[in-house]
Chains A and B, each alone.
Chain A
Amino acid sequence: MRLSPYLAFAKKSFLNRSAYRFDHFIGILDTLLKIFIFWEIYQTLYGTRVEVDGITLKMVATSFVLSICLEAIFFVDDNYLPDKIRDGSIANELLRPVSVQGRMLAENLGTALFRLGFHFCPAFVISIFFIGIEMPASLPMLFLFMLSSVLGYGVLWSISFLVQMTSFWLMNIWSLITIKNVFVNVLSGAMIPLWFMPDWMKKIIDFTPFSSIYFAPVQIYLGQLSYDEIACRCVLQLLWIGIIYSLGYSLWIRGQRKLVVQGG
């Protein structure tokens, strides 16, 4: 497989992002607003208490600041394939000597990289300055946090890929995408850290891929997991990527089959 076209697409996507300055600044503002709203809510909830269930306010703050900032980087265009399938340009894409999902990943990564530099960094620095979050537990933990974040993005991307594939059969997948986003937001710990979920709920969430997206990296950052547990989490993340991507890929093959048999 040639890598050069994919690099070119990622670069193009990166540069395209920089063209939309207004969108970019509004995005940063959005992230900061979210962080400050959560900050106010948790401050009020904690009141004068130092900790709840052994979790300090500072840990909660670290959790949602990291989740929300990661959310800003974790960019997946949910309408990439549905749009192409709807307007029929998917047929043209199939006849290019470049893999469609590879190109999608490359373009998403280009945007994600742009956001890492120009969205995550400023928002994160401002949050540290105003809210004050925990430092990473140790230097190795910081690296493992980064590794786990990349894998978390992989899980999120695979879920989106799977959902997008259903557009071969469904006229409109807007509702599916919305449901997916709600699941991701609630069950991944991006909104409410999973520590505060009831135990039975935690058990269910452990069987879903969602906690692998944001919560695993956050736990690693805070040093809550031993090396064995970290290894376990990373393997789980890889496993989820494998499972979900394979499911999506089988739909992709079936979708193409449907195209060549029925003619779109």
Chain B
Amino acid sequence: MISFDNVSKFILTNVTIHIPKGKVVGVIGKSGAGKTTLLKLACGLLDAYSGKVYTNGMHPVKDRKRLCKNMRIQFADMPCFSNDLIVTDALNDIRHFYSINITEFEEELLRLLKLFEVEYLTSKRISELSLGQRRRVELVSLLLGKAEVYILDEATIGLDEKAKEALRSELLSRKRHGATILVSSHNMSEIDGLCDRIILLEKGNIIYYGDQEYLLKKYAPINTMEIIYEGNLPDMEDVPVMKYDLDNHRIKLQYNSAIVSAAEITRHIVGETKVVEMCVHTPELSDVILSRKGQKKWNTLLK
């Protein structure tokens, strides 16, 4: 459980938010919107100018040593290990930090090393690792042992699809065990399907806090439909679409899902011509940010 009560720090102004136990919350926003500040406040690396922060019922700065027994953090801009350590030693330190039972630890370590495909790196030095390799080792160290709060900043930087999937499944299993997880990312599609709730930050203000579907409807209502037809050119004048492109038996159109549904449009077109194929693209989380910037994402829409 993490709660912010009227908190101000750096760019963040009067942030009030409550994150219940056992939820995965994604923090999204442009660079400089205050994502990392929010996370650092939650784990006690920053102290708020005003307002109150509670993580697991504790003051994260004053009770840091008590809190961090049950918390794991991972910030993209903070090195986790010193460069001259061997990977096994670095990971073994985690066992000492949290006094994890040795057999349990080794079992878990082996499983995670396999999952993130880094078992061949264990005898290397941290300084010899590439960014992606280092990130994987850091994630293994993050996931060792059990914690009640996980805080990940830019969680998916430097990870390939397989590693992202591994991270996602691991985090979801922690969530099932009641862990509260706070993840930030500027690449929204990365945390699709992981988060129960999304915090959308803009210039230090929370402009949205709620589930993902509603966020998409509210801030990115523009859907795209692509239809391949045979026969006559359909007349589109009667349908309230925003834009359409015709191209040799292929029509691409954009519509606002709040105004007109896909069903209405199809009904109209089917009435006029013979449809061979059709598909609808709904926006992704990344489109939310772009539409907030006032930029229309024509290039991807008209791909």
Binding site for B on A (CB under 8 A): 2, 4-5, 8-9, 12, 83-84, 87-89, 91-92, 94-99, 257, 259-261, 263
Given contacts A92-B78, A260-B61, A263-B10, A97 and B98 within 8 Å (CB-CB): yes
Whether the pair A95, B46 counts as a contact (CB closer than 8 A) is no
Residue-by-residue, is B274-293 near A (CB-CB < 8 Å gives 1, otherwise 0)? 00000000000000000000
| Distance in Å: Cβ of A151 to nearest Cβ of chain B | 28
Whether the pair A5, B99 counts as a contact (CB closer than 8 A) is yes
- CA gap between A4 and B100 in the complex, in Å: 11
Whether the pair A261, B47 counts as a contact (CB closer than 8 A) is yes
| Distance in Å: Cβ of B44 to nearest Cβ of chain A | 7
Which residue of A83, A91, A97 contacts B69 across the interface (Cβ within 8 Å)? A97
Q: Across the interface, which residues of A come within 8 angstroms of B57, CB to CB?
A: none
Given contacts A89-B80, A97-B65, A263 and B46 within 8 Å (CB-CB): yes
| B96 contacts partner chain A, Cβ-Cβ < 8 Å | yes
**A-B pairs with beta carbons under 8 Å apart, 28 shown:** A4-B99, A5-B99, A9-B93, A83-B82, A89-B78, A89-B79, A89-B81, A91-B45, A91-B75, A92-B73, A92-B78, A94-B64, A94-B68, A95-B45, A95-B64, A95-B68, A96-B68, A97-B65, A97-B69, A98-B96, A98-B97, A99-B65, A259-B45, A260-B45, A260-B46, A263-B37, A263-B40, A263-B46
Given contacts A95-B45, A97-B97, A88 and B77 within 8 Å (CB-CB): yes
| Distance in Å: Cβ of A111 to nearest Cβ of chain B | 14
Further contacts, 19 of them, CB under 8 A, given A4-B99, A89-B82, A257-B47 = A2-B99, A9-B93, A88-B77, A88-B78, A91-B75, A92-B78, A95-B64, A95-B68, A95-B71, A96-B68, A97-B65, A97-B98, A98-B96, A260-B45, A260-B47, A261-B47, A263-B10, A263-B45, A263-B46
Query: Which residues of B (1-55) have their CB < 8 Å from a CB of A?
Result: 10, 37, 40, 43-47
Closest to B45 in A: A91
Q: Across the interface, which residues of B come within 8 angstroms of A9, CB to CB?
A: 93, 96
| B128 contacts partner chain A, Cβ-Cβ < 8 Å | no
| B89 contacts partner chain A, Cβ-Cβ < 8 Å | yes
Q: Across the interface, which residues of A come within 8 angstroms of B10, CB to CB?
A: 263
Q: Across the interface, which residues of B come within 8 angstroms of A4, CB to CB?
A: 96, 99
Query: Which residues of B (79-103) have their CB < 8 Å from a CB of A?
Result: 79-82, 89, 92-93, 96-99
Whether the pair B96, A260 counts as a contact (CB closer than 8 A) is no
Q: Across the interface, which residues of A come within 8 angstroms of B71, CB to CB?
A: 95
Whether the pair B89, A12 counts as a contact (CB closer than 8 A) is yes
| Distance in Å: Cβ of A107 to nearest Cβ of chain B | 11
Residue-by-residue, is B96-117 near A (CB-CB < 8 Å gives 1, otherwise 0)? 1111000000000000000000
Q: Across the interface, which residues of A come within 8 angstroms of B43, CB to CB?
A: 95
| Distance in Å: Cβ of B60 to nearest Cβ of chain A | 9
Q: Across the interface, which residues of B come within 8 angstroms of A8, CB to CB?
A: 96
Q: Across the interface, which residues of B come within 8 angstroms of A88, CB to CB?
A: 77-79
| Distance in Å: Cβ of A84 to nearest Cβ of chain B | 8
| Distance in Å: Cβ of A145 to nearest Cβ of chain B | 34
Q: Across the interface, which residues of A come within 8 angstroms of B93, CB to CB?
A: 9, 12
Q: Across the interface, which residues of A come within 8 angstroms of B66, CB to CB?
A: 97
Q: Across the interface, which residues of B come within 8 angstroms of A257, CB to CB?
A: 47
Which of B79, B80, B97 gathers the greatest number of chain A CB atoms within 10 Å? B97
- CA gap between A87 and B81 in the complex, in Å: 10
- CA gap between A12 and B85 in the complex, in Å: 11
Which of A94, A96, A99, A257 gathers the greatest number of chain B CB atoms within 10 Å? A96
Which of B71, B78, B80 gathers the greatest number of chain A CB atoms within 10 Å? B78
Q: Across the interface, which residues of A come within 8 angstroms of B78, CB to CB?
A: 88-89, 91-92
- CA gap between A99 and B82 in the complex, in Å: 17
Closest to B49 in A: A261
| Distance in Å: Cβ of B20 to nearest Cβ of chain A | 23
| Distance in Å: Cβ of A179 to nearest Cβ of chain B | 26
Query: Which residues of B (212-229) have their CB < 8 Å from a CB of A?
Result: none
Closest to B43 in A: A95
- CA gap between A88 and B80 in the complex, in Å: 9
